[in-house]
Structure 1
């Protein structure tokens, strides 16, 4: 049976296909090289042709009528609709934006076992910013909560604009992630936090920049306030972010118990600081690596599976499903060569296998570096990444040795939480320890379907260190690279020491 999930939307267009339970996925930005690319139905048809699909047995889309395909009304989570002419005559379903977000968690959880699903993002269908759904994996789920108050992601984006941070046109949503890294550099004003009703915060979110005084003056009216070098701004940002975390916790606590099986998705589910607090309170919480709009086609696929009463899809190879394969796997000789360079302090690009689903590099489209170098973060910023100095880098760590270095006793496969580094270890790995002593950790177990596991194992054998600094293989303002040609152009343009593409190796001389 051939099932198709489609999201065109306003940005991050993607399509997913299931052929008898095996899933393929493509995101148009990887094929065009344009970050957050918005495609058209021609992209969907192109992918179906590339995948050799001539017959579809079911189609589901989430559109919110952004492209004229249709939308669910307030209170509708899904509905059967007339076929979309450009996609053929197969039975067709329209899926609510936030419901598709929640259903997209199926590669990391059995949706039939979920008791609640939370979605929080900039704007879903019917102006929703927050949605809560009970029994999301059932054929008749229950809409528990729909809220149109303001999004904390949009607030962080607004702060980024006031800081005059750079973002290519159409990529303004990236500003929230840039601001998130800066919040670790200030001190939280607990008296200010106690003065705010966090449960009622949603309607007042934007007031923090434009109306609410901070130390006697409204921020927007204070000259040069929104500057990272301003200590008062850093304290304000840390305090506002603490309020956003408390507001999110209060929202979850209103509907969920700590023992419940919960899914959380939407753009705001990319905030690793708030995620960490949620994971600690809700041990059965699941968050997918593709929780933003780039995963909506997967949620649409799951709606089809549920309504048609089919078995669970295969998750083999997840999250390395992006349609941009690098054909040859690295040999042991190739890995040994990379390890030798890494141990010398070199910056190494790693383009292997299929690309990751989601915005984070998880070992197949990565830049790696030895995290023991005290100037490592600055060198990487200056020579290759050219990004804001306050933004941290993550780490790929062998699962079995993670507790020795971080306050983390379970898996963190998708780099979705910011965890404390053990104090006695922080000086040993300065390039990945953030200002607040935390690190975004990706654990790789022995069954991880990525060559990064073998690379870190060999690096450990060579140096004794069970981890590498990991950041995405891309240039500022571009998506993660999908082709060898893109990687070669990048290597020629920046001062990266080596690039490994399968077993093809480029090493900078001199």
Structure 2
């Protein structure tokens, strides 16, 4: 039996297949030359046709994007539903929105977004951390330790930084905002007292105050505010990581785990393994 893997996220879509023991992979961003490209069903079908593989005779594994819809390939057509997706006549595939690691329906497997991140790291570590903007069931993270696994539902720190991007009227895709903010924070000095008070309940109001004033990224006071929010994100991430055993390596994945500034502070305490492909493009 052949295996097909569909990375049908909201951006950075990709497809992979194991065909008669030979591994094939293609990323739509590279195929179209468009950053963070999101492919449609026609592209997935064209790749499978090129590879000479029929999905009806294959085990299909796809990742849930965490959005309101889930892509399913069936004879070049899209089938959408909020709770499940129809695949053929009288066949349904549910999405893992109740903290399941995966759901199996016939020859289809739908993997929870953060579970997919952890497996994409291809790590033999006993501890794992997957954090990003959001995933299945609007979860924002998943950790695995010797005590079991834990899912996180608090607002992602990636969203904290994205709100700053909106305050500065950034253009383009939101997924790029945190990286730009990470660069700007270096020019400011964080207010540690305020950083300890920033949380998911007040971050939007705090950013909104600057939006009403009118933001100038060259304003030293605003740069200090950006540094303060970024420091708050660091403190939140450090709190999350207290669950881990410092003597054991941690495999990290998800877009949030690519923040090199926060990771520098985490590495002072923890032994972390972070590969460059562990964002959605590696699913």
Q: TM-score, normalised by structure 1?
A: 0.47
Of 228, 232, 235, the residue aligned with 1:243 is: 232
Partner of 1:353: none
CA 260–149 in structure 1, closer or farther in 2 if over 3 Å, else same: same
8 Å contact kept, 2:59–2:108? yes
CA distance in structure 2 between the partners assigned to 1:130 and 1:281 by the alignment: 20
Displacement of 1:163: 1.1
CA 274–41 in structure 1, closer or farther in 2 if over 3 Å, else same: same
Question: Does residue 153 of structure 1 match 2:158?
Answer: yes
Runs of 4+ in 1 over 6 A off after TM superposition: none
CA distance in structure 1 between the partners assigned to 2:153 and 2:203 by the alignment: 12
Q: Which has the larger radius of gyration?
A: 1
8 Å contact kept, 2:160–2:229? no
CA 207–256 in structure 1, closer or farther in 2 if over 3 Å, else same: farther
8 Å contact kept, 2:99–2:137? no
3-state SS of the aligned residue for 1:206?
A: helix
8 Å contact kept, 1:149–1:203? no
Of 94, 115, 131, the residue aligned with 1:120 is: 131
Q: How many pairs align? A: 259
8 Å contact kept, 1:104–1:288? no
Partner of 1:93: 109
Displacement of 1:287: 1.8
3-state SS of the aligned residue for 1:101?
A: helix
3-state SS of the aligned residue for 2:154?
A: coil
Of 116, 121, 126, the residue aligned with 1:105 is: 121
8 Å contact kept, 2:160–2:233? no
Displacement of 1:158: 1.9
Partner of 2:26: 26
Matches within 5 A, 1:354-393: none
Displacement of 1:274: 1.2
CA distance in structure 2 between the partners assigned to 1:277 and 1:4 by the alignment: 38
CA 121–191 in structure 1, closer or farther in 2 if over 3 Å, else same: same
8 Å contact kept, 2:145–2:244? no
State the superposition RMSD in angstroms. Answer: 2.4
Displacement of 1:281: 2.0
CA distance in structure 2 between the partners assigned to 1:157 and 1:265 by the alignment: 19
Displacement of 1:219: 3.1
Unmatched segments (≥5 aa) in structure 2: 72-79, 86-93
CA 209–260 in structure 1, closer or farther in 2 if over 3 Å, else same: same
Of 250, 266, 275, the residue aligned with 2:263 is: 275
Deviations 1:136-181 (A, max 9, x none): xxxxxx96222222122122222112112332xxx23212211111
Matches within 5 A, 1:3-402: 3-19=3-19, 22-54=22-54, 57-63=58-64, 64=66, 65-67=69-71, 68=80, 69=85, 70-82=94-106, 91-106=107-122, 109-110=123-124, 114-134=125-145, 144-167=149-172, 171-193=173-195, 195-196=196-197, 201-210=199-208, 218-221=209-212, 223-224=213-214, 226-253=215-242, 255-283=243-271, 285-296=272-283
Q: TM-score, normalised by structure 2?
A: 0.82
